[in-house]
Amino acid sequence: MLHLIKLAVGPKDVAAMERAQALRACGPEGLRHVTRMTPKRAPEILEGGGSLYWVVAGVLRVRQRILAIEPVKRADGSAATALILQPGLVPVHPRPMKPFQGWRYLEGEKVPPDLAEGDVVAEGIDELPPGMRRALSDLGLL
């Protein structure tokens, strides 16, 4: 199964991302993320039930199923691609990620498993500075 991974720019934690997406989902276009580049492997993503994995504040934290990938035009008339997303964020086992631009493909052993009901993730992690979170994770403490 093939997925995409992207940095969530703006939200400082998953709760802020949920609030922002709830507002967007009520709009006329529904819940979608517009990106400049079209995934060349879009059929693989859609046929396999791929998801968009979000990196929030330096940590891969949640995913959303990609329902469709459609060409769109930006307000300035330039071509773009809309990733139509299923509402709701699915928590995954957290993994620190270094910054990158755009989106990347995610497959194989790099895909983190979903958190199961009752799985415990340390609370208060979002309040730690990003550098400290990465250092603690690198040491295996998070």
Name every residue whose Cβ is closer than 8 Å to that of residue 89 and which is 6 or more positions away in sequence: 14, 17, 18, 21, 54, 62, 63, 64
* C-beta atoms surrounding 76 within 10 Å: 6
133 has pLDDT over 80: no
| Structural domain boundaries in the chain | 2-138
Q: Amino acid letter at 134?
A: R
Task: Give the tokens for residue 124.
Answer: 């208060």
Q: Which of 21-35, 42-56, 68-82, 127-141 bottoms out in mean pLDDT, i.e. has the lowest?
A: 127-141
131 has pLDDT over 90: no
The residue that leads in pLDDT, 92 or 127, is: 92
Per-residue model confidence as pLDDT tens digits over 62-94: 999 999 999 999 989 999 999 999 999 999 998
What is residue 97's three-state secondary structure? coil
Average pLDDT over residues 37-54: 95
pTM, rounded to two decimals: 0.82
Instruction: Give the integer Cα–Cα distance in Å for 77 and 56.
Output: 30
Per-residue model confidence as pLDDT tens digits over 8-34: 998 988 999 999 898 877 777 789 999
